[in-house]
Each structure stands twice: as structure tokens, then as C-alpha cells.
Amino acid sequence: MQDSGTYELTMILGAATLLLWGVRMARTGVMRAYGSQIRRILPRALKNPLIALATGAGAATVLQSSIAVAVFTSTLAAIGAIPVAGGLLLLLGADAGSAVVAALLTLNLKALWPILMFVGYSLHSIYSDTDSPLKQFGRIFLGIAIILIALTFMSQVSSALAASDLIRTIISALGDELFIALLLFAILTWLAHSSIAILLFWASLVQAGITSDPALIVAAILGINLGNTIPPIIMTWNQAAQARRVVLGHGAIKLTGVIAGFILLRLIDGLYDIIPGEPSFRVVVLHILFNCSLIVAFAGFVNPLARTLDKLLVEAAKPADDFGPKYIPGQADVVGKTELFPVTALSREVLRILGTIQNMLEVTLDMLISARPEKALEIVRMEDKVNALFKAVRAYAVDLTRKGIDDHDQRKVTALLRYTASLENSGDVICKTMIGIPEAMKKEGKQFSEEGKDELKALFDYLIGNAQLAAEVIMSWQPETAGILVQRKRDFKKMCHDSSRQHIKRLANDVSNAMASSSAHLDLISDMRWINTQVSSIGYDVLPESEDSGDENAEKLIVHPE
């Protein structure tokens, strides 16, 4: 029974499944321990192309999956945190990084699995009821141990398969149909969602002597690289155009490289024979060389490719009534709107921007409390509206100053323009920083403590109230109302300090979920405090020159309202 083809096929399926599970376990451990850090590092690494490539390689190395990096990158691109060109560099580096991981796993490390299994299980068990990073290190060690066990089984079964006349006949037939072999390995990689798993499986077969045909080996490697681009494309198919541009651009680069490699296959298959080392190691080195050649060939063309993708993948047109200005002339106005009260019209458009910022805060609060990160696209859409209105307000304000208005209106227009820029910056913080927190916490299985939720809700409610009061300041333009807003701005600052202290107390008292959500909680407080400063800044423009007198008026109105 043990020598039957059915048993060997079952063993192959089991070993492949075990390998995929090990990769997933190790990746989960890394994400739960360092997921938020990875999300913060990726957008910051794009200032230098070499650093972007190295960051992508490093991210794929620790995650053991270039597909995971592709999904992260597309998500960041969707919210505008990274440009398309930078995302393409990250993915090219990630392909090379995952190839290096595969090369390391082909080394003679299989004997380490008992030690890794023991250490991993011990760490995970000892710290199972805590949020210590050591618990996730245990998970990572267990995942690597499972990968090594799976590779041991694959090596044994591959030796048996290599001795089978039927398998040798099938592999030989594939050697005569290299395009079919390429497609077969592309499909296998797509279904497995792991180029590392299929590459290691193929390397173990070659190591066992199933084939020594360099052309077939190269064709299989090309198929693995092609199949690796399919899962991210499918995962982002219904997402925003910004997300699809990155993965489709990466797929186009890979497809071009695969086509070129297949055309030149008979010229490059000789590399297999001159690479030193075991056959399995040579297979993986060819995979590394292919991905490095893509970096050399295409890294200098990511900017033109990004511009082409921007033109080909355009977001659906947004309703002009929603995104365009209503009270001031916009680009679509040929004749222009009636301008009997131009400064009033400008104020009304600024109120629309402020109202959109308030809506973004409300949706963000709902995302945090209800743990529904899928609402992020709604916030991205509102940010587009803020940006469109900001451009219209800026152009109109500049035009008003050129036409010559009195000093009072000039000061008001300047203040509104400055305030609009502050609101636009607030929208950027919400869209590029705050909305990523709920998704990261959900993926990492983290939650805010009940006390933390109550504090965050109170802060959000107070901040939203300040936005409403800021609208009243714009409409009335009265120092008394502005003074109240300035005082509430200072009260909010004190509330943020108090919330931070309370959070630290919960950490000291080991309150459930407090440690897991610590970074997110403090980041949100910092972001809200900054946004509150921007939203409340209009108060200082309306107040008289003496800020103290404005504060006194505010306190009188708060204590003794008329």
C-alpha cells in the first residue's frame, strides 16, 4: 500500500498543505507582532528607489510571501499613502525577497525542526494568555518548524516519485510541451497562493532526479512567477483604481519578463548547468536571478508605467453636484455663477468642506467602535471631495483678491483660505493615518478595552462638537463665539492629556486589551489633538488682537450665557 501511486499522491497533497499552513502560521505571527510597524514603514521607504526595493525585499522575507506584500501595498495605494511607482518598486523588491526565503529553506536546515517546534510551542504556551511579542515569536518558530517538516516529507515522497516510470513519462512529456508546463505551474501557484510553496515542491522533485532538463526547469520557474501575480489582481479587482494600478502594473512587468524568458528559454537554460550547488538550490537561484533581472530591466521605468496606468485606470466620474463647488464658480461653469455676495459664497463652500471633515470623523468613529474597516473607502471618497473643493476655494479666493476688495473682506478671505488649507490637511490625516488603524487591529485580532472605547468616543464627540462650533464661527464671525471655540480647543488638549494618563494607568493595571491597543490608542489621541488644532484655528482669526480678552469673553459666555 505504501508503494502505491495513490499513497504517494496523498502524501504530496498532505505535505503541500502542511507547507502552506506553516507559511501561513509564520506570516500570522509576524503580522500580529509587527504588522502595524510594517504598515508604517512601507510608505516611508519610497523616498529612495534602492530603499524601496530593499524594504519590499525585507517585508517579503519576514512575511514569507510576496503576495501579502502586494495586498498591503495595494491597500496603501488605495488610500493615497504611497504612489503607484513606489508601490511597483516595493513589489519588485518583494519578489526578490520571497525568492531569498526559498533559497534559505533549501539549505540543509531540516534537522532543526524538533528544536524550533519545542521552542515555539514553549513560548506560545507560556505566553498564551498575554499580549507579549514572545507569544508571536513562538508562533513564528512553530510555522518554520512545520515548513521544515513538510519539506522533509516532500523530499521523501519526491524520491519515490522519481523512481516511478509513470511520473518520469509525464515529466518527459512536459519537456516536449514547455508552454503547457509553464501554464501548469502558473495554475498551481495561483491555487496555492504561494510561490514559495510551489517553488520548493518543484525544487524537491528536481533534487530527487525527476528531471534534469534545464529547459523544463526554467519553464516551470517562469510559470511560478506568472501564477504569483494572479491572486493580488483577483483580490483587488473590485477595489479603487489606485489599488488596481499597483498590482496590474506589477503583473504587466512579470508577464513581460515571462514572455521574454520563454522566447529566450533555449539561450538561458544553460545557466542551470553552470550554477554551483545541489539541484534544488540551483532551481531557487534561477528564480532569484529571474526576479533580479526584472529589477534591473524595469526599475528605471516605473514612473512612465505609473503614468500610463493612471491614464488607463481612471476612477468612475463623480457626481459634479457632490464633488464640485455649489456656491462659487467651478471649472464646469462657462459663464459663472452670480456673485452678488462673493465672500458669503466663499464662506458657504468652506462650510461644505468643514461638514465633510465632520462626516469623515463620524465615520472613522463608527469604524473604530464597530470594527468595520470596510468603511474606509467611504472616507477616501469624502477626502476626494475635500480636495476638489479646496482647489476650487483656493482658485476663487485668489481671484477675489486680484479683483480688489476692501480691507475687511480681504482679511476674511485670507483667513478662510488659510483655514481651508488646515481642513485639507486634517482630511489627509484622517484618510492616510486614522482609517488604517481599524483594519490593522482587525487583522491582528486586537480590540480596544471598554474604557478605551468610551474615552475615544468622548474625544471624538467633543472634536465633532468643535467642528460644529467652528461652522457657527464662520457664519457669525463674532469674537464671542470664536472665544468659546478657542477655549474648547484648550479644553480638548487637557482631555487628550487625561486620556493618555488613564490609558497608561490601564497598562499598569494590566487591563484586558489595553496593551494590545496601546499604540493605536495613543496614535489616535495624537491625531485627534492635531486635527482639533486645525479645526479650531478659525477662532484665532476672528478674535481681536489680544488673545487674552478673547479667552475672558469665552469664559464669561460659558459660565454666564446670555
What pLDDT does residue 553 have? 41
| pLDDT over 70 at 504, yes or no | yes
What pLDDT does residue 425 have? 92
Lowest mean pLDDT among 208-212, 466-470, 485-489: 208-212
| Confidence grade of residue 91 (pLDDT, cut at 50, 70, 90) | confident
What pLDDT does residue 30 have? 67
Average pLDDT over residues 343-370: 88
What pLDDT does residue 421 have? 92
| Confidence grade of residue 204 (pLDDT, cut at 50, 70, 90) | confident
- Mean pLDDT for all residues in the chain: 78
Q: What is the CA radius of gyration of the chain?
A: 29
Instruction: Work out the number of other CB atoms within 10 angstroms of the CB of residue 32.
Output: 20
Average pLDDT over residues 163-169: 67
Question: Residue 464, class by beta-carbon neighbours within 10 Å (0-12 exposed, 13-18 middle, 19+ buried)?
Answer: middle
Question: Residue 526, class by beta-carbon neighbours within 10 Å (0-12 exposed, 13-18 middle, 19+ buried)?
Answer: middle
The CA distance from 35 to 33, in Å, is: 6
| pLDDT over 80 at 237, yes or no | no
| Confidence grade of residue 538 (pLDDT, cut at 50, 70, 90) | very high
Say if CB 372 and CB 401 are below 8 A apart: no
Model pTM?
A: 0.52
Higher pLDDT, 73 or 477: 477
Lowest mean pLDDT among 82-91, 205-214, 338-347: 338-347
| pLDDT over 60 at 295, yes or no | yes
The CA distance from 339 to 336, in Å, is: 8
Q: Tell me the per-residue pLDDT of 550-561, one tens digit each, with 9 for 90 and over.
A: 444 433 333 333
Name all domains of the chain by residue range, CATH numbers in brackets. 5-312 (no CATH), 320-559 (1.20.58.220)
Q: Tell me the per-residue pLDDT of 19-32, one tens digit each, with 9 for 90 and over.
A: 777 767 776 776 66
| Confidence grade of residue 161 (pLDDT, cut at 50, 70, 90) | low
| pLDDT over 90 at 353, yes or no | yes
What pLDDT does residue 334 have? 35
Q: Tell me the percentage of the chain whose pLDDT exceeds 90.
A: 15
| Confidence grade of residue 166 (pLDDT, cut at 50, 70, 90) | low
Q: Tell me the per-residue pLDDT of 143-153, one tens digit each, with 9 for 90 and over.
A: 878 877 876 77
Q: Is the dihedral of CA 392, 394, 399, 404 positive or negative?
A: positive
- The residues, ordered by sequence, that sit 6+ positions from 269 with a Cβ below 8 Å of its Cβ are 214, 215, 217, 218
Q: Tell me the per-residue pLDDT of 36-62, one tens digit each, with 9 for 90 and over.
A: 565 556 556 666 677 777 776 766 565
| pLDDT over 60 at 5, yes or no | no
Higher pLDDT, 439 or 139: 139
Average pLDDT over residues 339-353: 82
| Confidence grade of residue 263 (pLDDT, cut at 50, 70, 90) | very high
Q: Is the dihedral of CA 393, 333, 241, 377 positive or negative?
A: positive
| Confidence grade of residue 455 (pLDDT, cut at 50, 70, 90) | confident
